[in-house]
Amino acid sequence: MENCTCWQNAGEEDKNVEIKMKTFGPEDQRTPIFVVVNACSSRDYTDNIVGVCFVGQDVTCQKVFMDKFISIQGDYKAIVHSPNPLIPPIFASDDNTCCSEWNTAMEKLTGWSKEEIIGKMLVGEVFGVVVD
């Protein structure tokens, strides 16, 4: 906040500065609050700064959600892309049944590299056509 105030006094405006605020109270309730702040200055007719305005929005829920998502995404990548023989063959498709994931175990099982398979239709191009 001190930097924002200094910039305001210098006449510079700041947008979308994320601030982590500590909370007080019982230890189990001391979770930080994240606020995105925009700052602007008010000037008089001679262009002197006569006031500073800070507008903030609590983005704690979004920040916590994104942090959890990034953590889960990291766990997912560590599992799917692991060369560990304990990880089973894993593949995934998008909405159009095109291959979007092909791990090392699938490469070993099929003999096809990830680069060969990603983007191809799983039914027809990769695994053949189902015949009745």
How does pLDDT run across 27-64, given as a tens digit for each residue?
878 888 999 999 888 889 998 988 888 899 999 999 99
Q: What total of structural domains would you count in the chain? A: 2
What is the pLDDT at residue 81? 83
DSSP for the chain, please give it.
Answer: -HHHHHHHHTT--EEEEEEEE---SSGGG---EEEEEEEEEEE-TTS-EEEEEEEEEE-HHHHHHHHHHHHHHHHHHHHHT---TTSPP-EEE-TTSBEEEE-HHHHHHHS--HHHHTTSBIIIIIS-----
Say whether pTM exceeds 0.75: no
128: confidence class by pLDDT, cuts 50, 70, 90: confident
Domain contains 33: yes
End-to-end CA distance of the chain: give it in Å, rounded: 69
Q: Does a structural domain hold residue 102? A: yes
Q: 12 and 61 share a domain? A: yes
- Look at residue 19 and tell me whether its pLDDT is greater than 80: yes
Quick check: is 76 in a domain?
Answer: no
Give the per-residue pLDDT at 97.
92
pLDDT the model gives residue 8 = 45
Q: What pLDDT was estimated at residue 12?
A: 66
Q: Are residues 97 and 50 in the same domain?
A: no
Q: Please indicate, yes or no, whether residues 11 and 49 belong to a single structural domain of this protein.
A: yes
The string of pLDDT tens digits covering residues 61-114 is 999 999 999 989 888 888 888 888 889 999 999 999 999 999 999 999 999 999
Domain of residue 32, residue span: 2-65
What pLDDT is attached to residue 11? Answer: 56
Q: Which residue has the tokens 């995934």?
A: 92
**Are 87 and 59 in a shared domain?**
no
Q: Are residues 59 and 97 in the same domain?
A: no
The CATH number given to whatever domain includes residue 45 is: 3.30.450.20
Are both 61 and 97 inside the same structural domain? no
